[in-house]
C-alpha cells in the first residue's frame, strides 16, 4: 500500500509506531486518516497539539483552549475507534480568529448519544464532556456510503 505523508522530523519520531495513512496540511486546515486502533487516539492528539503550537507561541491561542480541544478530540476519536467502522478521518480547522472546529468521521452508522450515566459507570461520559466544553457540536450523516461525522467547535478565548 502506498502512503502519502508530510512529516516533520519530530512527527516521524513520535508517530512511528502508529503512522497515519494520509496527512495533509493546507493553510488553516489539518486532515489525517488513521487506522481504527487505540494508538490512533494518541497520534491524533499529538498531531493536533503540534498543529496548534505556532498559534500558542504567537499568543493567538491559549494553552487552556488547546487542552480542551485535545481532551474532546481524544473522546471523539476514541468513540470512532471503539464504536465506529473503518478508517478514522480527523480534521481541524481554525475558523477566523474566533473558533476551532474538529471533525471526526468513520464508516460506522451508530450515532453518539448523551445519556444519563450511573455515578459508578467507568465510561459513557465522553459526549457529555463534548456538550459541556464545546461552543457547539453535532453530527452529519452520509459521510461515505454508511458513515457519519461528529464535529465540535471550541471558541478561541
Q: Residue by residue, what is the 3-state secondary structure of 58-79?
A: CCCCCHHHHHHHHHHHHHHHHH
Which candidate, 155, 9, 156, 15, places its Cα nearest to that of 90?
15
Whether the predicted pLDDT of 39 surpasses 60: yes
Q: What pLDDT shows up at residue 97?
A: 82
Model pLDDT, residue 143: 60
pLDDT, position 94: 87
Which helix (H) or strand (E) is 19 found in, with range? none
- pLDDT attached to residue 15: 42
CATH class of the region 17-116+124-155: alpha beta
Interval 79-94 mean pLDDT: 92
What's the whole-number mean pLDDT along residues 133-144? 85
Residue showing cell 455515578: 119
H/E stretch holding 2 reads none
**What is the predicted pLDDT for the residue at 157?**
73
Instruction: Confirm if 147 and 86 have CB atoms less than 8 A apart.
Output: yes
What is the overall mean pLDDT for the chain? Answer: 80
Query: Distance between CA atoms of 53 and 41, rounded to whole angstroms?
Result: 18
Average pLDDT over residues 87-111: 90
Angle (CA) 135-118-44 rounded to 5° is: 45
Amino acid at each position: 500500500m502506498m502512503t502519502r505523508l508530510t512529516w516533520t522530523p519530530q512527527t516521524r519520531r513520535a508517530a512511528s509506531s502508529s503512522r497515519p495513512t494520509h496527512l495533509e496540511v493546507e493553510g488553516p486546515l489539518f486532515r489525517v486518516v488513521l487506522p481504527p486502533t487505540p494508538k490512533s487516539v494518541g497520534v491524533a492528539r499529538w498531531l493536533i497539539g503540534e498543529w496548534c503550537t505556532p498559534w500558542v507561541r504567537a499568543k493567538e491561542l491559549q494553552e487552556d483552549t488547546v487542552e480542551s480541544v485535545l481532551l474532546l478530540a481524544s473522546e471523539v476519536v476514541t468513540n470512532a475507534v471503539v464504536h465506529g467502522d473503518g478508517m478514522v478521518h480527523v480534521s481541524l480547522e481554525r475558523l477566523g480568529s474566533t473558533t476551532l472546529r474538529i471533525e471526526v468521521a468513520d464508516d460506522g452508522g451508530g450515532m453518539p448519544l448523551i445519556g444519563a450515566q450511573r455515578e459508578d459507570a467507568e465510561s459513557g461520559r465522553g459526549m457529555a464532556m463534548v456538550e459541556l466544553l464545546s461552543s457547539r457540536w453535532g453530527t452529519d450523516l452520509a459521510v461515505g456510503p454508511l458513515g457519519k461525522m461528529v464535529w465540535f467547535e471550541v471558541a478561541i478565548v
